[in-house]
Amino acid sequence: MADFNKVLEPGDYEKGKLNVVIEIPTGSNHKIEWDRERACFMLDRVEPMAFAKPCNYGFIPQTLDEDGDELDALVITDQPLTTGIWLKTRILGVLKFVDGGEVDDKIIVVPEDDRNNGDKYQTLEDLPKQLLDQITFHFNHYKDLKKPGTTEVKEIADVKTAKQVIRDSIERYIEAHPEVKAKKEIKEGAEQAKSAIKSGIEAAKKAIKEATK
């Protein structure tokens, strides 16, 4: 299996786009997690059926949340998505969430190209209130049978807050992975050199034109 943190980037999140890898399909009570050490998926535990996931659950590659894992994502679709696929999504907002005192936010997204519903979910306000209430209820209570009172949804915030959470998680990942940092710096350096060469050529062309008038 491909190591998603090597083959995938987070996506152009400043433009509202995000790449997400699916761990748990909607309706499943299997807590399937990406095992980053072995680059494969594992079943961490079976949850009570009463706490089956109200939406697909996954992670954003090349991010690091405050809990030490990749940043989580909630993917809203009409049909359950399959564990192990990745998709391009559109960012709608973020579920600000705390688990056992640790920040564990979840970015709320929909597929970028959904021809079944005609891309009708463009902002958080387009989502059914009942769905957001179910998601909030789920994350407030899914650990109640084992460790009651350990999880808390703080709020569902807008796309601007979501982008800030993503930005921070990418920066954390880059800091923790020198090879990604080096690659990013080389890319930026190459882009700068390219634009310097381009403006040099433009200036030379202009000078030749002037000289041959």
Residues that bind Mg ion (CB under 5 A): 67, 69, 72, 104
- Supply the minimum distance, in Å, between the C-beta of residue 86 and Mg ion: 17
CB closer to Mg ion, 32 vs 121: 32
Q: What is the H or E stretch that residue 97 is in?
A: strand 86-99
- Supply the minimum distance, in Å, between the C-beta of residue 105 and Mg ion: 8
CB closer to Mg ion, 47 vs 121: 47
CB closer to Mg ion, 77 vs 151: 151
Q: How far is residue 128's CA from residue 132's CA, in Å, rounded to a whole number?
A: 7
CB closer to Mg ion, 59 vs 86: 59
Output the CA–CA distances (angstroms, integers) from residue 147 to 4, 27, 41, 119, 123, in the order listed: 31, 22, 25, 38, 34
Tokens 């786009």 correspond to: 17
- DSSP per-residue letters across 46-80: EPPGGG--SSEEEE-TT---TTSSPPEEEE--SSP
- Supply the minimum distance, in Å, between the C-beta of residue 139 and Mg ion: 11
Tokens 């002037």 correspond to: 210
Q: How far is residue 145's CA from residue 48's CA, in Å, rounded to a whole number?
A: 8
- Tokens standing for residue 116: 């079944």
CB closer to Mg ion, 33 vs 144: 33
- Supply the minimum distance, in Å, between the C-beta of residue 25 and Mg ion: 18
- Supply the minimum distance, in Å, between the C-beta of residue 205 and Mg ion: 53
